[in-house]
Amino acid sequence: MNESVTLMEVSPRDGLQNESTQLSTQDKLTLIDHALDAGFTRIEVASFVHPTRVPQMADAEAVCASLPKRADVTYTGLVLNWRGYERALATGTIDEIGMVVSASDAFGQKNQGQTVEEGLAAGREILADAKRRGIKAQVTIAVSFGCPFEGEVEIGRVVEIATRLAEAGPVEIALADTIGVGVPTRVMAAFDAVREVVGAEMPLRAHFHDTRNTGIANAFAAMQVGVDTLDASIGGIGGCPFAPNATGNIATEDLVYMLDRMQVAHDVSLERLLTASRWLSGALGKTLPSMVSRAGGFPVGDGHR
């Protein structure tokens, strides 16, 4: 297991996209400011999708126009097709393109109107174009651990998709447990199998949802097989609008608490995350799923037994 990890904060995009409360552009920028204040250097800030499909992301360009200029921070924008890619490039502030390719036809058609083959074609085209332009572009394989419509997704299929995507030159490949069905043994097996075909030089990232209370365990399992970048969402908000009964990502506070207690190095402040989570709870008008935001960090104690 690596002695350090990089955390990618996804609450401004994957977190907010499934919330019934639509935050204002200014509130989204405040959330991003909280993430920056906590120490994040990778933040997924928006997705460039049709506003009728995901209304929460209708102001993607407005958010990008007001992002703080930080040379030490990578702002990522999610795109699902060429039109979204052009929109992201036009902002002038997106540092990294994020692509999604589904591992099942049924989910791909629900999520982005594409079969697996169509998603691969679109993804490879965008990845190759970004590489020619000198723009960082990474790709996530959605429903890598199970599909809400087709059930089991075989590791061999995920490996085949990863192999074909790697040929187009992404800067990173992620496996996503989009509906939170993964378990640690499957996580380790999938990442090991993908690593074998894409090679040690390809960075791998893990994206987990906590729908069935296995998200943090899966993050630990991914770390056990050398994955050194993990996605998480402040407060544990999130979920896919096109997956039935979808719930949030693993909570950043919960993940950071575990990493701190394990003495795994990272650059994020738990104290400032808790401040961010309290603010987000108020902005959304509800209690957030995060356990640590309710319980707090490790008790200091007062010296009494």
At 73 the three-state DSSP class reads coil
Question: What does residue 124 show for φ and ψ, rounded to 5 degrees?
Answer: -65, -40
Q: Which of 240, 270, 276, 284 is catalytic?
A: 240
CA distances from 198 to 117, 191, 203 (A): 19, 10, 9
Please choose, from the candidates 45, 87, 103, the residue with its C-alpha nearest in 3D space to the C-alpha of residue 70. Answer: 45
Query: How far apart are alpha carbons 196 and 88 in whole angstroms?
Result: 32
Q: Which two tokens stand for residue 179?
A: 């509906």
147 included as an active-site residue = no
Q: Which two tokens stand for residue 128?
A: 């190759």
Please choose, from the candidates 64, 27, 26, 59, the residue with its C-alpha nearest in 3D space to the C-alpha of residue 45. Answer: 64
On whether the CB atoms of residues 34 and 279 are closer than 8 A, the answer is yes
Residues carrying an active site annotation: 240
